[in-house]
Amino acid sequence: MRTDFVPNGIPVRPVPQNLSLEGAADWLSEHLDELRELRTERGSVMLRGLPFSTADEFALLRDRIIGRPADYVEKATPRSAYGRGVFTATDVPARRRIRLHNENSYALSYPGLLVFACLTAPTAGGETFLGDSRAMADLLPEDMVARFREQGWKLVRNYWGHFGLTWQEAFGTEDRGEVERYAQAQQLTTEWHGDRLTTTQLRSALVRHPGTGDTSWFNHVAFWSEWTLEESVREFLRGECGEDLPFRTFYGDGEPVGRSEIEQINAAYEQVRMAERWQPGDIMLVDNIRLAHGREPFEGDREVLVAMGDPVERKECEL
């Protein structure tokens, strides 16, 4: 069966044409072992030409790919839910670029597999681009990597409500007690300031892939740094929130990660970036520990969905 390989790119595997939806589901089941091997070898694979056009039809195919669904916890960006564990990949406005990140890197449990699907491709841009997290440590200064390896990283989130998600949206509840129970189980500290919630968590910045043993740079250190924001946005938020920005990132000892370090991390991400244009009927499997993902700005309509599966416990990935 032909797979189109691009050196250091995303492998694209055409699917037999004229399959019914049920036939495509059976095809996925028959070739699941091969797809898993390709995912292990390359980290991702894009299946091209599948006969689906709705979220429900994608969910049927998704069920043949994902062994166990993964919960979407501690929501951080706006998404629309279609039910059955299917979401829009993001509802962030088309003009904004979403930088590389690993899904739920700040949680104690995160999806091992992401399955993206394209219902409507944009007229320009909009690629879901990927980046090899294994290569990141070699592209960054040794002393920085050693410090993160030793200390981990700290994330502070302020749920203002009018800047980003509310705590009710992020945790999926109106009950503060339920938030507190979740926080205790997930090793988050909480502070309430009226209706504003502040959470703090300490996490490892590098993890070991439980399947391959490879080490990955696995965090949101740059993604949620104030120094990644556009200057006008950063100054606006500082004027409104002071030091209590919606997101801030620190070394494990509590020292803020500085502008120069964030710029180095973002520059390294650009060196590992790879992308493939979306076409309707594409499904892309992504190893969430090995590969980070992001999104380019786009023009026109874009409907890309995501489902998450094969959950991994952080304790399984300790170095």
| Cα separation, 285 vs 113, whole angstroms | 7
> Which residues, in sequence order, are CB contacts of 90 under 8 Å at separation 6+?
77, 78, 79, 98, 295
146-158 mean pLDDT: 98
pLDDT of residue 4: 52
The DSSP secondary structure of 233-287, one letter per residue, reads: HHHHHHHHHTT--SEEEEETTSPBPPHHHHHHHHHHHHHTEE-----TT-EEEEE
Distance of CA 127 to the CA centre of its chain: 14
277-293 mean pLDDT: 97
Q: Is the pLDDT of residue 226 over 60?
A: yes
pLDDT digit string (tens) for 79-127? 888 988 999 999 999 999 999 999 999 999 999 999 999 999 999 999 9
211-225 mean pLDDT: 97
Q: Model confidence at 8, in pLDDT bands (50, 70, 90)? A: low
> Which residues, in sequence order, are CB contacts of 286 under 8 Å at separation 6+?
43, 44, 113, 114, 115, 116, 130, 293
Q: Is the pLDDT of residue 2 over 70?
A: no
pLDDT of residue 134: 96
268, 139 Cβ separation under 8 angstroms: yes
| Cα separation, 27 vs 14, whole angstroms | 12
132, 311 Cβ separation under 8 angstroms: no
Q: Is the pLDDT of residue 5 over 50?
A: no
What would the two tokens of residue 20 be? 């019914």
Q: Is the pLDDT of residue 20 over 50?
A: yes
pLDDT digit string (tens) for 25-82? 999 999 999 999 988 999 999 999 999 999 999 999 999 999 899 988 788 878 888 9
286-309 mean pLDDT: 97
E strand or H helix that includes residue 6? none
| Cα separation, 65 vs 200, whole angstroms | 35
Determine what percent of the chain is predicted with pLDDT higher than 70: 97
- Phi, psi at 173, each rounded to 5°: -155, 155
- Phi, psi at 266, each rounded to 5°: -65, -35
For the chain, what are the domain ranges? 12-134+269-317, 138-267
pLDDT of residue 3: 52
Distance of CA 240 to the CA centre of its chain: 28
247-268 mean pLDDT: 97
Q: Is the pLDDT of residue 216 over 80?
A: yes
CA neighbours closer than 13 Å in the CB half-sphere of residue 170: 24
Determine what percent of the chain is predicted with pLDDT higher than 90: 89
Domain 12-134+269-317 has CATH 3.40.50.1100: no
pLDDT of residue 235: 96
Helix (H, G, I), strand (E, B) or coil at 17: coil
283, 172 Cβ separation under 8 angstroms: no
> What's the chain's average pLDDT?
94
pLDDT of residue 217: 98
205-228 mean pLDDT: 97
77, 294 Cβ separation under 8 angstroms: no
227-235 mean pLDDT: 95
190-213 mean pLDDT: 96
**CATH level 3 topology of 138-267:** Double-stranded beta-helix (3.60.130)
